[in-house]
Each structure stands twice: as C-alpha cells, then as structure tokens.
Amino acid sequence: MGTISVDGVTRRLGSTTALRDVSFTVDSGEHVGLFGPNGAGKTSLMQLLSTLASPDDGRIRIDGDDVTPDATAVRAKLGVVSHRPMVYGTLTARENLRLHARLRTVDTARVERVLEDVNLRTHASTRVADFSHGMTKRLSIARAVLHDPTVLLLDEPYAGLDQRSAMDLQRILTRFDDRTVVIATHDLERAVDDCDRALVLVDGTLERTVSLTDRDRHSFETAYLEAVGRSELQ
C-alpha cells in the first residue's frame, strides 16, 4: 500500500519544461525527500503527484492507479500539505476538521484522535485566525491525515517555522512514519533525519538519487552540492 511509480514524466508550463523525463519509484512506507534549487521543478512534481495537474508525457501511478484517469481513487489515498493551509480562519480547529470529515465522509469521532496526534487538543476550540504559523501548519497536517491516507505529500512543511516549531513538527511527523512520505524541502539538515532517500532535481531533470540511511549530514550536503553545481553556493 502506498507505492508510487513515476515513469518518464515531462511537464511543460508555457515555454518552460518544468520536468523532463523524470522516473523513479517509492516503496510502500519509504520516506523520500525532494531537493533542488529554486525553479528545479519540486512544486511541479508535487502538483502532479497530488493530481492537481497531469503530465504532458509519461505516467504517474499510486498503487497502480494512474493519477490522470483514476484521480478520484488516487485522491482517497493521498494526504497533501501544501503552501496554502486550506483551513478556515473563522472556524475553530475542531470545526475545521469536523467540516472536512463530513466532506470526506469520515467518522467525526476521528477528529479528536487526530487533534491529539498533532498536539492541538487544548487549542481545539480556538479560532484558526488566532493560531500561530506553527499551529496552523499542525492543523494542516491534521486535515491531511483525517481520512487515514497511505501516502503523505508535504511541500515545504518547515517553511516559515522557527527552530522550536520546526522541531515540534518534525516530532509530530514521526507519528505518521508508517505511511509513504514525499517531502519537498530546502531543509537539508532535517531531511537527513526525516528521509530514507533523497532525489535531487536540477532544471527539471532528476540529477541524483542519494541513500540517506547510511549517510551523515555532511556527506549528503556534499553529494547535493555536487549535483546542483555551484548555483547553490553563489
């Protein structure tokens, strides 16, 4: 459950080729980091995996279902945390999750369990407009896992968080370790802890795959900088 297959995927945006013949697979329960400089194609790839866009060439399958014709079946397996929190500021955390549970036809009893998972039980009755950035991010994760997906797609989950909130979030994400996870991030340090494998995109091409299980932080950073060239150093 939760296998991903990306096969020869190309994505064009206007005159830009955002992704060029990208292929990789992710095993069930594996945690993969997506890295690359600005404009490398990370968000474009996350959008395709999330079924928000379709490849111009190639195929993406989740558990064998193609993200284009089988988008509805695929969406049921996906939990997506993107740049936008996708929660309502005028509602409380609990109201947001109950609303989402009804839309997803999920038993509302699960809302309390998920609030607990992301450490928001004591703030469940607070309006989201009054939440800090870190709390809103945790609520986005709660929303994403409410229907118990097998695959979690996290686009820059640590962006804008201070050290303490990022550490809290990292700890919370380990509670969902049994799922397949794809995480796009510029945070090389946390990636070494979070991921089994790193995929490095450069100018839309999958430049390098690095196993993180037997690497320390320094050797991953070296491999990353070799892959992206000097552009990251300037």
Three-state SS at 101: helix
Q: Residue 44 or residue 180: which is nearer to ligand ATP going by CB?
A: 44
Exposure on the CB side of residue 166, measured as CA atoms within 13 A:
15
111 or 184: CB nearest ligand ATP: 184
Of 32, 33, 44, 151, which one interacts with ligand ATP (CB under 6 A)?
A: 44
Q: Cα–Cα distance between 178 and 157 in angstroms, integer?
A: 18
Q: d(Cα 193, Cα 108) in Å, to the nearest integer? A: 33
Calculate the CA dihedral of residues 81, 86, 92, 97 and round it to 10 degrees.
Answer: -60
Angstrom distance (rounded) from CA 24 to CA 176: 23
Nearer to ligand ATP (CB atom), residue 155 or residue 168: 155
Helices (H) then strands (E): counts for the chain: 8, 10
Window contacting ligand ATP (CB under 6 A); options: 11-19, 72-80, 175-183, 224-232: 11-19
Is 43 one of the binding residues for ligand ATP (CB under 6 A)? yes
Question: Which residue in 31, 42, 94, 137 binds ligand ATP (CB under 6 A)?
Answer: 42
Residues 64-103 binding ligand ATP (CB under 6 A) are none
How far is the C-alpha of 121 from the C-alpha of 134, rounded, in Å? 15
The Cα–Cα gap between 129 and 133 comes to 10
Closer residue to ligand ATP in complex, CB, 29/39: 39
Report 22-41 residues binding ligand ATP (CB under 6 A).
36, 38-41
Smaller CB separation from ligand ATP, 14 or 64: 14
The conformation of residue 7, written as its DSSP 8-state character, comes to E
Comparing CB distances to ligand ATP, the nearer of 194 and 203 is 203
Q: How far is the CB of 147 from ligand ATP (least distance, A)?
A: 26
Alpha carbon 140 to its chain centroid, in Å, reads 11
Residue 55 engages ligand ATP in binding (rule: CB under 6 A) = no
Indicate whether 18 belongs to the interface with ligand ATP (CB under 6 A): yes
Positions in the binding site for ligand ATP (CB under 6 A): 13-14, 16, 18, 36, 38-44
